[in-house]
A and B are shown apart, each in its own frame.
Chain A
Amino acid sequence: MKDLEVEDSAQVHAAFLVYMDLTEVRQWKDVSCVKSTEPDVVLLEGRKKEGSPVQTVLPLPVHQSLSHRSIRRVLDRGFPMLLCAVASDSTLVYQRMTDGLVTPDPPAGPFQDVGRRQHRKRRQQH
């Protein structure tokens, strides 16, 4: 990964941590690292399972900033994209980024009409 010659060593370190997480913990297949010019970072590509489509992961230390344009550049590579924020204690947080307007999942059922008693209880709490 160091051979990719990306200047930001913090980002390279973050990429390494994500690489270890994907391969050892989540057991993704075919994980490889790719250098991206704009933004100047190391990207990871891999599959969740054998035969599933390739996804791009953008690892970033949590204190760095980024622009919408650089996110779009990574999205424009054509693969589903995950942004991974790496904290100073190596905690990893993944977020999915998609082009366009994606309707959120509706709340899960089954739904029950709350009785009057519950409403009164809730009102009294305030």
Chain B
Amino acid sequence: MAEPPCREASPVVAVSLCDSAPLLWRVEDLRAVRSQGLVGALLGSLPRTPRQNTRLGRPLLLLPEEERLLTERHGAALPPGPQDGGGAELRQQVDKYKEDQQRSYEEQSVLALEDRKSALLRATSFTHTGSEPGAGTADEALRGRLESLDQSFTFPRSGLAVQLSTARAGLSYCPEARAFLHADWPVRGLDDLHCNARYQVFRDLRRRGYYLTSAGKFGGDFLVYPGDPLRFHAHFIAVCLSLDESVCLLDVLAVARLGSNVKKTVLLCSPGTDSGVVYTSLQWSGMV
């Protein structure tokens, strides 16, 4: 029997595809991917602070280049599909859940009745300011009311407090979540020339130790950081193009001007002939 492959060097992460967007849901996957130098972008809202977008939570969206790199390193896999014994297991879980709910309902009914009775006693003791002559009849009336409460009290089902456990043992164990995360098998493997150029540049820069994120805000392809983005500002805005692609000078001017305004160097990157990448730095000329 073959030995299981050594996982310490490059752990395999579970990539869920949601309409062709590669997402990572599990914390250990996010950590593994970060340790390989891939940053991604968080998309989800945090349950405790939902109405803001400065701090986002899981899932992590991978760049197409990051997903491709993971695939090449055999570091990505789809999460396991539903097991065969899923049907019976599921029924057992549902039955158990119903039993738990029923038990909880019975306990809560008892407690609710006690609560009602003590509230009644408290109410009558307030009106009862210790006047002696009316004490006997008031006590009898109270006992009567308590007895009728015993007989007629019903705890409504809608008043049941239900506890939801939010800490799950990993989404891979939860069949409903899995069904939600899976979409139709998307069209992968875009053979666009530009996509290829982007990927070559991404792989080369990653190999040199730079961290890369998306540069949509700056009109480029990637933002290049000398280290983890949490510790550094980006140094470069990478614009990927093929060597023979003709670009209007106005666009070059625009991106160079933007780069100088945000104190970043614009990097024109093109995959070269011998699987290397050619870089040209574009800087606002200091003599002007």
Contact = CB atoms under 8 A, between A and B. Distances in A.
Q: Do A and B bind each other?
A: yes
Interface of A: 26, 48, 60-69, 71-72, 75, 82-83, 85, 93-107
A60 B243 contact: no
A93 B253 contact: yes
A68 B243 contact: yes
Given A62-B249, A66-B247, A67-B244, A103 B235 contact: yes
A103 B259 CA distance: 12
Contacts of A101: 224, 235-236, 265, 267, 279, 281
Contacts of B241: 68
A96 B283 contact: yes
B287 interface: yes
Given A67-B246, A68-B241, A99-B281, 17 more contacts: A63-B249, A66-B247, A66-B249, A67-B245, A68-B280, A71-B268, A85-B252, A94-B288, A95-B282, A95-B283, A95-B285, A96-B281, A97-B281, A101-B279, A102-B283, A104-B264, A107-B263
Contacts of A68: 241-245, 247, 268, 270, 278, 280
Nearest to A61: B249
A65 B287 contact: no
A100 B269 CA distance: 9
A94 B287 contact: yes
Contacts of B244: 67-69
* Interface SS of B by simple majority: mixed
22 contacts: A62-B249, A63-B249, A65-B246, A66-B247, A67-B246, A68-B245, A68-B247, A68-B270, A69-B244, A85-B252, A93-B253, A94-B285, A95-B283, A96-B281, A96-B282, A98-B281, A99-B280, A101-B236, A101-B281, A102-B265, A103-B226, A104-B235
Interface string B220-262: 0000101000000001100001111111111011001001000
Contacts of A72: 243, 278, 280
Nearest to B265: A104
B248 A65 contact: yes
Interface residues of B, number: 35
Nearest to B287: A94
Nearest to B236: A101
A97 B280 contact: yes
B38 to A, nearest CB: 20
B281 A67 contact: no
A104 B223 CA distance: 13
Nearest to A107: B263
Contacts of A100: 279, 281
- With most chain B CB atoms within 10 A of its CB, the pick from A26, A48, A94, A102 is A102
A21 B33 CA distance: 53
Contacts of B246: 65-67
A60 B246 CA distance: 14
A10 to B, nearest CB: 12
A85 B246 CA distance: 16
A105 B281 contact: no
B105 interface: no
A96 B252 CA distance: 12
Contacts of B247: 65-68
A47 B281 CA distance: 21
A98 B285 contact: no
Contacts of A61: 249
A97 B249 contact: no
A53 to B, nearest CB: 14
Given A68-B243, A104-B235, A98 B280 contact: yes
Contacts of A82: 285
Contact of A63 (B250, B263, B268, B283): B250
Contacts of B288: 93-94
A86 B244 CA distance: 23
B155 interface: no
